[in-house]
Every structure is written in C-alpha cells, then in structure tokens.
Amino acid sequence: MKNKTKFILLIEDNPDDELLTIQALKDSNISNEVVVARDGEEALDFLFGTGKYLGRDLTLMPQITLLDIKLPKMDGLEVLQQIRANKITKLLPIVMLTSSKEEQDLIHSYELGANSYIRKPVDFDQFTKAIQNLGLYWLILNELPN
C-alpha cells in the first residue's frame, strides 16, 4: 500500500535504459511501482491528467521522478520547466538521470529547479549503486510536504 502510493515516475525513451533502470531498482531491493513515460509529452499528460491520462487521479503523484534530458519531441529540460510552472506539480522532486555531463545541462537543470543531477555511469555496478543511493534517499529518507 505504502509502496503503491510512493511510486516512481521514470521518463526515459531508451528501452535498454528503461530495462536497466528497473533491473537496478530491483537489484537495490526497491520494490516501489515504476510508471514509465517514453517521451516528454506522455510524461506531462500523466502528471497533468491530460491526453491519454485524462481523468487520472491527480492526488497520486510520484514520490520521485527520474527525468532523462535527451528525449524525443520535448526534451527533459522543457519537461522540467513545465512541471515547475504548474502549481499541482511544482513541488515534485525531480532527479535528472542522464548521460550528459555537459556543464551547461547541469547548470540549466538546477536553474530550472531540478532537485538532483545524476549521470548514468557505463559500468552497471556503479549504475546500480547510484540507483540504490537515490532510492534510499528520495524514497525513504526524504520527507515531502503533504
């Protein structure tokens, strides 16, 4: 029950990365439900209850959103901007989980109100470790306003 409300929103277009992230969560013993959105538009539809998610119960919001920067149609930074601009989503914790290590992406993300920025390592063991730490912090330690 607890885990059902404390779900994770993963915004990721690469199916390999999706699978690996889910595997890493599983390997880290994080059993929270994972909702996957495969592009920015779908993510916003889910969060705002629009498009194919019209009528979704908007009291259910992700405990943590893992957002990739490079996405088709609308990139992660734009998604972040829209999340922060909407009063029902503006306080959601957003972790940028991306391949990019570009300084400008980092700065831009924090400027737009990202809570954290994690670069996906190539080494799967390191990746798993990063996911584990992330889950521990955002799903267990971190307190959110009601």
Partner 1 sequence: MNYQDKSTEELIEELERYKLENEKRIADLVIADKELVYQNQEKENRADELLLSNSTNRQQTIIIEERKENERLLQGKNEEYLRLIEELKYAKLKNAESESKHKFLFDNSPLGKIYQNAKGEINDANRSAERILGLTLDQMQGRTSIDPRWKSIHEDGSDFPGDTHPAAITLQTGKPVNNVTMGVFNPLINNYTWININSIPRFKDGNSKPFEVIATFEDITERKQAEAEIKTLNETLEQRVKERTNQLEAVNKELESFSYSVSHDLRAPLRGIDGFSRILQKDFTEMLNEQGLDYLARIRKASQTMGQLIDDMLKLSRVTKAEMKIEKVNLSEIVTSITNEFKELSLARKAEFVIQSNIEVSGDKNLLRIALQNLISNAWKYSSKNDSTKIEFGKTIQEDSTVYFIRDNGVGFNMKYVNKLFGAFQRLHSVSEFEGTGIGLATVNRIIVKHGGRIWAEAEINKGASFYFKL
Positions in the binding site for partner 1 (CB under 8 A): 14, 16-17, 20, 23, 69-70, 98-102, 120-125, 127
- In the block, tokens 């199916």 appear at 15
Q: CA-CA distance, 93 to 95, in Å (whole number)?
A: 7
State how beta strands 34-37 and 116-119 pair: unpaired
Q: Are strands 94-98 and 64-67 parallel, antiparallel or unpaired?
A: parallel
- Name the minimum Å distance from CB 83 to partner 1: 21
Buried b (16+ CB within 10 A) or exposed e, 54-69: eeeeeeebbbbbbbbb
- Which residue lies nearer to partner 1 by CB, 38 or 70? 70
Q: Which is nearer to partner 1, 39 or 92 (CB)?
A: 39
Report, in Å, the least distance between residue 118 CB and partner 1.
Answer: 13
Q: Which is nearer to partner 1, 9 or 24 (CB)?
A: 24
Closest contact distance (angstroms) between CB of 68 and partner 1 is 9
The CB density around residue 139, as the number of other CB atoms within 10 Å, is: 19
Closer of 127 and 138 to partner 1 (Cβ): 127
Smallest gap from Cβ 54 to partner 1, in A, equals 32
